[in-house]
Amino acid sequence: MEHKIKYKAEAVFGGGCFWCTEAVFEELRGVISVMPGYTGGTVPNPTYEAVCTGETGHAESVQITYNPAVISYETLLRVYFTVAHDPTEVNRQGPDDGNQYRSAIFYADAQQRATALAVIDRLTAAKAFKAPIATQVVPLHGFYAAEAYHQHYAHEHPDDPYIVINDAPKVAMLHSRYPELVK
């Protein structure tokens, strides 16, 4: 018998190159889909080339559709902060530099905002990182799917040097740190 999803929710995170964040979140139980795209800017229907200029204001982001009966928004945030990217970096992640690679949580409602701020407060109080958390917590005002060739990029191009160097270690860390969350 096929298991039907009775409820689903969405989360949108910016954390550097969307190939990296997509690769991590696709591994999680309860995640239905992960779509790379662009949000947080002023240009409607941006292209990858335009976003790469840093002039659109958009961040490379992922839209995560998930079943909250299986995985919570707070658990997604835990993975976001501890595996998917470095939340202390300002306008960069790894080899990628520019405001399009900023760390940002794009909240859809007051509950997501409150949860994100509470997680940041707990991590800050615990001194979880050597530098201050730079993650922006900002309202979501639209999400634009990235071009088709960006979708599932790490899965479809596992031998790409960028994937081997930047994405594969994060996926391995997820499996090591949170094996109970992996599909």
Task: Choose the catalytic residue: 9, 11, 17, 35.
Answer: 17
Residues 6+ apart with CB under 8 A from 57: 40, 41, 42, 43, 99
The rounded distance, in Å, linking the Cα atoms of 105 and 112 is 9
* pLDDT for position 4: 58
- Count of residues making up the chain: 183
Report residues of the chain scoring pLDDT below 50.
1-2
| β-strand pairing of 103-107 with 136-139 | parallel
Q: Which domains does the chain have, with CATH numbers?
A: 9-181 (3.30.1060.10)
Angle CA(104)–CA(85)–CA(16) in degrees, nearest 5?
A: 60
Distance CA 172, CA 155 (A): 14
Structure confidence by residue, pLDDT tens digits, 32-53: 999 999 999 999 999 999 999 9
pLDDT for res 7: 83
Residue 10, Cα to own-chain centre: how many angstroms? 12
Provide DSSP, 50-112.
Answer: HHHTT-S--EEEEEEEE-TTTS-HHHHHHHIIIII--TT-SSEETTEESGGG-EEEEESSHHH
d(CA 138, CA 141): 9
Active site residue 52: no
